[in-house]
C-alpha cells in the first residue's frame, strides 16, 4: 500500500467511536441525577400507589380516608371520631408543585388546610379530581381520577 492510502480512519473505526461516545453520554445523563420529568413520574407513581392502598384500606377497615394536598406535599389522613388524623408523614414533592382541580374548578392548597380535598370512601368511591405536578409553572404530569375507576396519570 502506498503511504496515501493509509491516512485517516475507516468507516468502521468512526462508527465505533460514535457508539462509544453515545454510551458515555447516556451514562453521564444517568449519573447527573434525576430530571424534573423523572421526579414528576416518580411522584405520580407514588401517589397512585398511596391512592390504591388507601382505597383498599377504606373498604376493608370500613373507615374513610382522605388525601390532604399542599402546594409542595401531600398526606394521607383517616377520619376518626375526633376528626381527621394523619396516617403517614407528609410526602414532599421536592422542587415540584401540586395544583388541584375538582369539578373543573381550581382548589386552593394552603398550609392552614386540615380537611382533605380528596376523600376515599368505604364504598370504594372517591372524590373526582385532576392533579398536576408542575415545575416553574410548567405542567409535567397530570393525574386524573373520575371517582369510580382507578386514577391514572399521563404526561
The grid coordinates listed for 95 are 422542587
**Rounded distance, CA 109 to CA 96, Å?**
14
Mean pLDDT, 10 residues at a time, the chain of 155 residues: 67 86 81 77 93 95 95 94 93 92 92 90 95 92 94 89
Q: Residue 86: left if φ>0, alpha if ψ -120 to 50, beta else—which one?
A: beta
The grid coordinates listed for 23 are 454510551
Whole-structure pTM value:
0.76
Helical (H) or strand (E) element with 19: helix 11-31
The grid coordinates listed for 1 are 500500500
* Domain extent at residue 93: 36-154
Residue 30 resides in a domain: no
Residue 2 resides in a domain: no
Residue 5 resides in a domain: no
Q: What is the pLDDT of residue 120?
A: 96
- Which domain CATH number covers 112? 3.55.40.10
**Rounded distance, CA 80 to CA 152, Å?**
28
Amino acid at each position: 500500500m502506498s503511504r496515501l492510502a493509509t491516512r485517516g480512519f475507516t468507516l468502521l473505526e468512526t462508527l465505533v467511536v460514535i457508539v462509544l461516545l453515545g454510551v458515555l453520554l447516556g451514562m453521564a445523563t444517568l449519573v447527573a441525577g434525576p430530571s424534573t420529568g423523572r421526579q414528576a413520574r416518580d411522584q405520580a407513581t407514588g401517589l397512585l400507589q398511596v391512592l390504591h392502598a388507601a382505597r383498599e384500606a377504606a373498604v376493608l377497615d370500613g373507615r374513610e380516608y382522605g388525601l390532604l394536598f399542599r402546594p409542595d406535599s401531600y398526606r394521607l389522613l383517616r377520619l376518626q371520631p375526633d376528626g381527621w388524623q394523619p396516617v403517614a408523614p407528609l410526602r414532599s414533592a421536592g422542587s415540584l408543585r401540586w395544583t388541584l382541580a375538582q369539578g373543573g374548578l381550581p382548589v386552593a392548597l394552603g398550609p392552614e388546610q386540615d380537611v382533605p380535598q380528596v376523600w376515599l370512601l368505604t364504598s370504594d368511591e372517591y372524590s373526582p379530581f385532576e392533579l398536576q405536578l408542575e415545575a416553574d409553572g410548567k405542567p409535567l404530569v397530570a393525574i386524573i381520577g373520575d371517582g369510580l375507576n382507578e386514577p391514572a396519570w399521563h404526561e
